[in-house]
A = this chain, B = another copy of it.
Amino acid sequence: MGDSMKQDFPIFSRQVNGRPLVYLDNAATTQKPACVIDAMTQYYSLSNANVHRAVHTLAGEATEGYEACRKLLKQRYNSDYVVITSGTTEAINLAAHAWGEHNLQPGDVVVLTEMEHHSDIVPWQMLAERIAIELRFVPVEDGELDLDALEVALDGAKLVCVVHTSNVLGVRNPVEQIISMSKSAGARVLIDAAQAVPHELIDFKETGADFMAFSAHKMCGPTGIGALLISDSAFSEMHPFMGGGDMIQTVTLEGSTYQTNEHKFEAGTPRIAEGVGWAAALEWMSQIDLESHHKRLLKIAKNVAGQLEEKGMKVYSTLNPGDAAVVSFTHPTIHPEDFARLLDAQGIAVRTGHHCAQPLMEKLGVNGTIRASFYIYNDDSDAEIFLTGIDRVLEAMA
């Protein structure tokens, strides 16, 4: 299953250090199928032009290509409003500026969790510096969010920001329950879905969340593009974030008026080729049965985790049903970087470090972990090569 899919990805014909590439750094970024790369090449080779407010043929094609991306996102995730950003991080910063700054008062409470990626912590810390809101962090206990603590933290909360699926542990949080608890408490909810959308299809309206942020590059799309989905009611409370071309209706020296749709939040020439590439990725993904891949990969990951433990590693991922196929682990004595570099010497790509989640690292009591993250093109043979590679490292370092 995985093997035939690799043929769609040009990168898998490459060798790393004389070995076929085994790519297990998917939580950082995924590889791109040929159709995505081709779509961008085609765009630049045939239709490249600036979009909107234009009447020539190329500009029309470029506008259609770019707006097709938004349309596909609206359909796939069931959202009336889709603002295109440069990624998850910009999407969350957009929410903090365009909604947070205009709807929160000094002393208002924003609830975060200890499991958040830095991109869902720092924008709120910066907002707290600007307008003196209070941040409360829901603790992580044994790799799970403490929902009793959430209940307490919700008292008086205006906004709850929670990572759907952890990039460090692969844990899928009970977002449905968190959203309903938050809504009952009268809070708006932002979901960091960077690690979620690659693994499951989410009906944004059905979740009841107000914001959902994610990046194309983690779901077979290009770098430099992402999105913020916004509920109708939250959209109506938002004010422009960045100013410039395309987001205005009229500009005079005395002041400006803004567009009323999503363009209001997309200042400047948009990510046109990236939109075209992401649209191709979304079309490609719509042919894929994510759920069955998800189950297949989770099984692989569980097997890998089990064997790593047998080999003396400490595994932090719990890999419960619904979790992403992410295996975070450490060795009692071998430094994660030495470990990763010795794997790289065998063509195996994994990531090490704090994974932009230092508060979670602190909770786990480590400086960093080694993280092997699996995606739809990975197969049993990748897992085998990985485990054999681990053995060679252990031998060499014995």
Chain A residues within CB distance 8 Å of chain B: 10-11, 14, 16-17, 21, 23, 25, 28-29, 31-32, 36-37, 40-41, 44-46, 48-50, 53-59, 86-90, 92-93, 114, 117-119, 121-126, 135, 137, 215, 217, 222-225, 240, 242-248, 250-253, 255-256, 267-274, 337, 340-341, 343-344, 348-353, 356, 358-359, 362
Contacts and interface: CB of A to CB of B under 8 A. Distances in A.
A119 B243 contact: yes
A17 B57 CA distance: 8
B58 A349 contact: yes
A19 to B, nearest CB: 10
A349 B25 contact: no
Contact of A28 (B49, B88, B243): B49
Contact of A122 (B50, B118, B248): B248
Nearest to A359: B253
A37 B47 CA distance: 13
Contact of A272 (B54, B223, B269): B223
Copies of this protein chain in the complex: 2
Contacts of A225: 224
A224 B274 contact: yes
A92 B247 CA distance: 15
**Looking at chain A's contact residues, is the secondary structure mostly helix, strand, loop, or mixed?**
mixed
Nearest to A342: B55
B45 A37 contact: yes
A344 B55 contact: yes
B46 A11 contact: yes
Contact of A358 (B10, B54, B250): B250
Contact of A247 (B37, B41, B122, B267): B122
B243 A90 contact: no
A123 B56 contact: no
Contacts of A223: 269-274
Nearest to A120: B244
Contacts of A41: 37, 40-41
A53 B367 CA distance: 13
Given A14-B46, A28-B49, A253-B114, A267 B362 contact: no
A56 B86 contact: no
A57 B252 contact: no
Contacts of A340: 55-56
Given A41-B41, A125-B256, 13 more contacts: A11-B46, A16-B57, A25-B50, A29-B50, A31-B48, A36-B44, A89-B267, A118-B243, A123-B243, A125-B255, A223-B274, A245-B356, A251-B359
A57 B350 CA distance: 10
Contacts of A126: 240, 243
Contacts of A274: 223-224, 274
Nearest to A368: B53
B25 A122 contact: no
Nearest to A222: B273
Contacts of A247: 122
Given A123-B243, A123-B244, A269-B215, A49 B349 contact: yes
